Every structure is written in structure tokens, then in C-alpha cells.
Structure 1
Amino acid sequence: MEAIVLAGGKADDPLALKFGVASKTLVPYRGRPLVEYTLEALAQAGLEVILVGPPAPLNPPPKVFLPDHGSLVANLEAGLQAAENEKVLVATGDMPFLSGEAVRWVLEHAPQAGFVYTIIARPTIEQRFPKMRRTYARIREGSFTGGNIVLIDKKLFYTALPLLKRALELRKKPLALAQMIGFGTLLKVLLGQADMAGLEAKVSQIIGVPAKALITPYAEVGVDIDKEEDLQWLG
């Protein structure tokens, strides 16, 4: 199986600027660029890597190196076009604690769906990383944060790309985004009254691809580095 690592970003990102690198995924942590921890975990899980991001000497090196295409969706699309297999794993390049064990667990337990999204329960994060600040959504099954690994059926997922591009265009227009989701569903989420099965059905309907969430017992799948304070609590 192949993995696409999204390692792009802008050089004017505050974290990238502070360290003088082309992308925050190249910020050094414990003597290595952040993205190398993701690459190492994927290699341990036996995956061949397509990396999309600024050029840099990395260890372990990816099988395929693609230039940054300027946006998350464009980078994902480029990675999908380069992938040879129909099923691909997609990961961000800023997970310093990701392990091969966690990646293998996701692969072994993923349900059959065109789009599988990892989520992590709040107690799982707080038990291992008590100082980590994450955004959580409360549903009937508990409070969860989004993971940084998804599994995609390439053929099916192409139908969802136009919608993702549209969502990216509307990212600073909350009302327009709410219309895409549906005000009823949004209200349920805000009130903590939504349930996982209902949300999976709604997302499947919106993107036109069968979608499933995967509750993941590995906190490291939900821990990434976005800003300087994240590096500070890591120590």
C-alpha cells in the first residue's frame, strides 16, 4: 500500500519563519525535521511514501517526491494522481510521535469505506499528553478530536474533490459552510446531540462517498505541531 504525506506549506507560516524553513513540516524537533518522524513510522508499517512538499534531504527518503502545489487539496490531488494503488493512506507531515504500530493498527482495523477518518477520544489524548491543547467535538458517544491519518479509495474520492475545493474557498465564511453541512446537523453538533452513525451518513451524503470514522486508541495519531506553543509543551 502507498501513503501520501502532505508536507507542504507556506514559508510565511509563523513556525516556518521562526526556524527559517520552507514549511512547518521541516521545523527541527530533537535534531530531525518533523516530517521524518511521519516518514519513519510509515516505513516501519511497510508503506511506500509519496511526499508532497518542498524539496529537502530526508531520512528515510520517500519513494516519490512531488513539489508543493500551493494548497492542501491541490497537494492531495497531486498525490492521488501519482499513486498506483486504488487504496491509499494519507497523513500529515507534522506528527512527531507517530509510530509504525499505530499506523499498522489503523490499516488492520479500518472499516470498508471510500473515506475512513481517524478520530481520537479526549481521554486517550489527555492520558498520554496532558498538556496538549486540542479542539474536541462532543457527540453522544463522547468527545473526540480529529486524527491526522485518513484512508481513501482513490477512484471514489475523485468525486469529492470539487466539494473539498469549494469548502476550502468558503473556509472564512461560516454561514456558507454551515449551509453545506446543513443547519440541523450543525445545531446537533453544537448541542452535543449528534451521533456517530448520523454524522457518517451525513458526510457520505455530502461528499458522495461512503464515509466511516475509526476511533483510534493511539493518541499520537491526533497530535501534531501547528504553532510554537506546541513545541514548548513538548519540551
Structure 2
Amino acid sequence: MDAILIAGGRANAPLSEVAGHSVKGLFSLHGATLITRVLHALQQSGVERIAVVGSELLLHALPTLDAEILFAVEGNDPIDNLLRGVERLGLPSDAQFLHCAVDLPMLTGDALCDLIHTAPPDADVVVAWTPESAFVQMFPGAPYTALQFAEGRFLSASASVMRVGFLEAQLPLLRRLAAARKSAGRVALTLLRTFHYHLAATGAPLAARFLTGRLALSSLPPIAEQLLGARLHFYLNAAPELAYDVDTEEDYRYAQAWLRAHSRYTNPSNT
């Protein structure tokens, strides 16, 4: 499987001042930049080709790896960046690819390999979730936001597996979801507006259960099949490393301290 690394993230002013750069991929955490850490983890997961999509400022920071690295300049939004990665890799519509964000300082090849191996060959999209209990155990005292579902409390992972054809077929919806991704309420509202013609039978009950923490993730794949013609798979035991991203000054400071205390993660070539 090939991978697309979305490396165009920008930091807000307080985080930029602490990290020393506005481009997240160039943040240095305990001796290595984020892009170096994540690329080493991707290589160790077994992927053979990696499309890096981001600012041209990242070009000088790309490490030498056995895996082939292909670079594409970032576009206007996360979905545009995925499309640019697909084009750079020359992937056909029936191909699956691994998508990964760059702001994952504790990422390991094992965590990514585990996600890849759980992806059914016929899945159009694999969405990964980390149990809150596992996250807290690995990162005690870390800042985080968890969502309540019928199956328990989970954090969303910043990595997924997707089929190119699904990306191509669902561009308008995916763009709207990407714009709303920082707010659970906005995501629910976006889905309601998209499927307004199913509002009475499907949309409103689903939104109500989601907002009250009673939504069963297991109920969504059949609905995705019905409304989108897409095969959706949830992985509910993703490694905590996939869910720790750096969005705030607090996230950055915690990651620095955690990496100092865990020597295995100091050198990205060992992760």
C-alpha cells in the first residue's frame, strides 16, 4: 500500500512562538522534526511509496529513506491535498492508500502497520478510533478530546485507509466534512444538511444519538452503504500514537516532555 502524508498544517500564533515555526512539519521535538519522525514511521510500516503534500519549505527537511518519497505542493484544503497525493502517486480508482497527518510526534511504524493490516480489502474507507482508556494509560495527563458513543469513549485517529474511487465520488461531501472537522456539532449538522431527504427516518435520529453519546458506530456502515454506496469500516482499537496530534501550545509542551522521558522514541529511526 502507498501512503499520502498531508504535511501542510499551519500553527496558530501561540503555538508557532513556542515551536519556533509556523509549518507543523518543521516543528522540532526532542531532536527531530515532525516530518522526519512521521516519514520514518511510514517507512517502518512497510509502505513503499510516500507522497508528501505540503509547503515547499519542507523540501530541505525530507530525510533519505529506503521508501520512495514523492513531493507535491499543497492545495487549498485537505481534500485537494489528498487529490494531489493521489495524482503524484498515479493511483487508479480501485487502489487503497494510507492517509496520515504530519503532526503525530509519537507515531510508530507498528501503530501504522496495525491499522493497515486491519483494513478489509473491500473497504472504501477505514476510520480509526482510539479507546480513551488506552490513550490515558499511554499519555497520562495529556490534553485530549474524546467522543462518547454507545461502544464507549474514543479519540479520532489522524490516520485512515481510503480507496481512491471513494475520494473521487464523494468530493463535495468530503470537502464539507473537512471544513467542519474541528467541531462534532458542525460535522453532525453537515451530515444532516447533506442527507436532508432522509431527515425523518435517518438523519435526525442519528444526530440526536450522536449529540447525546448514544450513537452506535456499528450502526453506521449499513447506512453508508445505503446512502453513499460506500463500504465503511471502523477500527475501534487504534494505537494511542495515532490519536496524539499537536494543535495547541499545551500539546507541544506535553509531547516534548513525553519524548524526553521515553528514550525509545527519541531517535525516529528506532520507532
> TM-score, normalized by length of structure 2?
0.78
- Per-residue deviation, 1:198: 1.2
Could you list the per-position Cα deviations for residues 31-86 of structure 1 after superposition, in whole angstroms to 9, with x for gaps in the alignment?
22112111101111221210001122222466101111132111111112222341
1:223 counterpart (229, 241, 244)? 244
Equivalence map 1:1-235=2 (5 Å): 1-10=1-10, 14-16=14-16, 18-47=18-47, 48-55=49-56, 56=58, 57-60=61-64, 63-85=69-91, 86-111=95-120, 112-168=122-178, 174=186, 176-177=189-190, 178-180=192-194, 182-234=203-255, 235=257
Give structure 2 stretches of 5+ with no counterpart: 196-202, 258-271
Give structure 1 stretches of 5+ with no counterpart: none
> Comparing 153-162 with 176-185, which one deviates more in the overlay?
176-185
The alignment partner of 2:100 has SS state of strand
Q: How far apart, in 1, do the equivalents of 2:131 and 2:89 lie? A: 31
Q: What one-letter code is carried by the residue in structure 1 that aligns with 2:29?
A: Y
Task: Mark the CA change 1:81 to 1:123 in structure 2 (over 3 Å): closer, same or farther.
Answer: same
The alignment partner of 1:21 has SS state of coil
When the two structures are aligned, how many residues end up with a matched partner?
235
Q: How far apart, in 1, do the equivalents of 2:137 and 2:50 lie? A: 31
Whether the 8 Å CA contact 1:8–1:68 is kept in 2: the answer is yes
Structure with more helix by fraction: 2
Q: What one-letter code is carried by the residue in structure 2 that aligns with 1:53?
A: G
Whether the 8 Å CA contact 2:173–2:194 is kept in 1: the answer is no
Over aligned residues, Cα RMSD in angstroms?
Answer: 2.4
The alignment partner of 2:107 has SS state of coil
> TM-score, normalized by length of structure 1?
0.89
Q: What one-letter code is carried by the residue in structure 1 that aligns with 2:109?
A: G
